[in-house]
């Protein structure tokens, strides 16, 4: 894809074997995704049981080698681990640094939703757009 390394950063709710096949078809070789601590690995363990930088395979993504890490952040007076899985190897800092770019995108969406009033829009199908003619038709 040109001279610039491009990669996909996604949330754990959006990945599947089909998604990875499609991304590879489009030429993306590098994918970074968030993962939940209870994700089951091919060897029977859970994601929460891995070492930083360890190469793992998810039960739901056979044949896809992923490198695991996490970051621990304060949330509501407690510390919570956020897991990262990446198709490229790296230590804990490298993997989390790559994945944190996702939070720039999340910040944009949060701002769009709450600063511009888009949090009331629920678009799951095309039929939802007529409820918001000024946003989508410029009227």
Question: What does the alpha-carbon distance between residue 42 and residue 133 come to, in Å, rounded to a whole number?
Answer: 48
Arithmetic mean of pLDDT, 51-57: 91
User: Which SS3 state, helix, strand or coil, does residue 88 take?
Assistant: coil
Q: What are the distances in angstroms from CA 36 to CA 12, 68, 95, 123? A: 7, 11, 16, 26
- What was the pLDDT predicted at 43? 95
- Please write the tens of the pLDDT for every residue from 95-122: 777 766 666 777 777 777 777 776 666 6
Q: Is the pLDDT of residue 135 over 60?
A: no
At 41, give phi and psi (nearest 5°): -95, 160
Note the pTM of the prediction, 2 decimals. 0.67
128: pLDDT confidence band, cut at 50, 70 and 90? low
pLDDT of residue 124: 59
Average pLDDT on 53-58 reads 92
| Ordered strands of the 7-10 beta sheet | 7-10, 30-35, 78-86, 66-75, 55-56
């Amino acid at each position: 894809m040109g001279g610039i390394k491009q990669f996909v950063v996604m949330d754990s709710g959006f990945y599947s074997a089909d998604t990875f096949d499609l991304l590879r078809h489009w030429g993306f070789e590098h994918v970074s995704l968030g993962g939940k601590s209870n994700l089951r690995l091919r060897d029977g363990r859970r994601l929460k049981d891995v070492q930083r930088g360890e190469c793992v395979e998810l039960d739901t993504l056979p044949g896809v080698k992923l490198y695991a890490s996490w970051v621990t952040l304060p949330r509501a007076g407690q510390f919570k681990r956020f897991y990262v899985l990446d198709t490229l190897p790296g230590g804990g800092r490298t993997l989390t640094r790559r994945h944190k770019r996702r939070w720039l995108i999340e910040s944009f969406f949060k701002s769009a939703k709450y600063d511009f009033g888009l949090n009331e829009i629920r678009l799951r199908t095309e039929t939802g757009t007529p409820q918001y003619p000024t946003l989508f038709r410029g009227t």
